[in-house]
């Protein structure tokens, strides 16, 4: 199983923790470092584009999408969060490759840090576990094109 991780650099004090959680979950599932393709993008808005591009190559069984949006004083948060979520859904539907949503949408940095803490509740870990589960399910079901 080959897995891509698309991680945003914006708010990297959070996204790097999500990435560590995702890598730990993949390693525990037997996915080696050689089977992980890491793509770094500027921010959450760019995640769906990179996820779609790597999925279109046919090299990966699933894509783990990691980012962090922290609410500010303007509506920018809502626009980016919506675009990111809808973009990931569209990219997954278009390519047929499962994509998990590990993009935090929090009210504060403190909330984000809680969700990125090491351990089983790390949202990067949860996203990687979901990606593995969906890739396994899709492999069992087949491509549905028969």
129 within a domain of the structure (yes/no):
yes
Say if 47 falls within a structural domain: yes
In a domain, 111, yes or no: yes
DSSP state for residue 63 in the 8-state scheme? E
Residues 6+ apart with CB under 8 A from 99: 51, 55, 62, 63, 64, 65, 88, 91, 92, 131
**Catalytic, out of 9, 57, 76, 117:** 76
Containing structural domain, residue 17: 3-141
Based on the structure, what is the number of domains in the chain? 1
CATH code of the domain in which 60 resides? 3.40.50.960
Say if CB 65 and CB 102 are below 8 A apart.
yes
pLDDT per residue as tens digits for the range 114-129: 999 999 999 999 999 9
Indicate the pLDDT class of residue 37, thresholds 50, 70 and 90: very high
- Residue 14 CB-density burial (10 A; 0-12 exposed, 13-18 middle, 19+ buried): buried
Whether 146 maps to a domain, the answer reads no
Quote the pTM value.
0.94
Q: Is 76 a catalytic residue?
A: yes
Longest alpha-carbon distance in the chain: 51
């Amino acid at each position: 199983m080959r897995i891509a991780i698309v991680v945003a650099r914006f708010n990297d004090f959070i996204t790097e923790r999500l990435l560590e959680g995702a890598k730990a979950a993949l390693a525990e599932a037997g996915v080696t470092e050689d089977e992980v393709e890491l793509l770094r993008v500027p921010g959450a808005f760019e995640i769906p584009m990179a996820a779609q591009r790597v999925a279109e190559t046919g090299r990966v069984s699933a894509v783990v999408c990691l980012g962090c949006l922290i609410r500010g004083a303007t509506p920018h948060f809502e626009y980016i969060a919506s675009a990111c979520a809808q973009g990931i859904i569209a990219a997954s539907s278009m390519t047929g490759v499962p994509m998990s949503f590990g993009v935090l949408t929090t009210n504060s940095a403190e909330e984000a840090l809680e969700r990125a803490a090491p351990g089983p509740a790390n949202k990067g870990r949860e996203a990687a576990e979901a990606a593995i589960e969906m890739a396994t399910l899709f492999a069992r079901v087949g491509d549905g094109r028969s």
